[in-house]
Structure 1
């Protein structure tokens, strides 16, 4: 079954989706930018559809990280934090997590 990875942070949505298709998975992307925490509903929708969530530490603000962490905890979704902005590394980390579960 095709796995779905949610990536929060960064700005290269097209690249993440291309790399995801090479790895045989679907990528849901959000830049992680929030306006007064107003994206909680949007974050929840993405996390709900994902098998695993990956947060790019260097590309996501603290408010967004806290919201994503809280939503993952409530929904029981695995979450990984990745240093850097690389699409391949983020997607591989997500796939490792979801296949190990």
Structure 2
């Protein structure tokens, strides 16, 4: 079954979607910017739909990171925190993680 990943942070949505397609998964994207430093309303729909989440630490604020971490915990979704802005390794790690379950 095709997996879905939510990527938070960065600004290369089309590149992330191409990378997802290449790896056989769908990509949901949010740049990580939300009013008041991030709100649950902005992130929850993506976390709900995703099999796992990737947070690009070099491109997202701490409040948003914490909100996504908490949503992942509440909804039982793995959250991978990727240093910098690279998605390839985190995407592979996430796919391996959810396929092992």
TM-score, normalization by structure 1: 0.92
User: Which consecutive residues of structure 2, in runs of 5 or more, have no partner in the other structure?
Assistant: none
- Count the aligned residue pairs: 101
SS in structure 2 of the partner of residue 36 of structure 1: helix
**Residue matched to 1:62:** 62
C-alpha distance after superposition, 1:57-81 (max 9, x if no partner): 1111101001101111111111111
**Residue matched to 1:24:** 24
**Residue matched to 2:46:** 46
C-alpha distance after superposition, 1:24-80 (max 9, x if no partner): 000111111121045321200000000001111111110100110111111111111
**Residue matched to 1:7:** 7
Moved more, 35-44 or 65-74: 35-44
How far apart in 2 are the matches of 1:61 and 1:45? 19
RMSD of aligned C-alpha atoms?
1.2
1:78 pairs with 2:78? yes
User: Which consecutive residues of structure 1, in runs of 5 or more, have no partner in the other structure?
Assistant: none
Say whether the 8 Å CA contact 1:82–1:90 is kept in structure 2: yes
How far apart in 1 are the matches of 2:37 and 2:60? 13
Quote how far apart the aligned CAs of 1:85 are: 1.2
TM-score, normalization by structure 2: 0.92
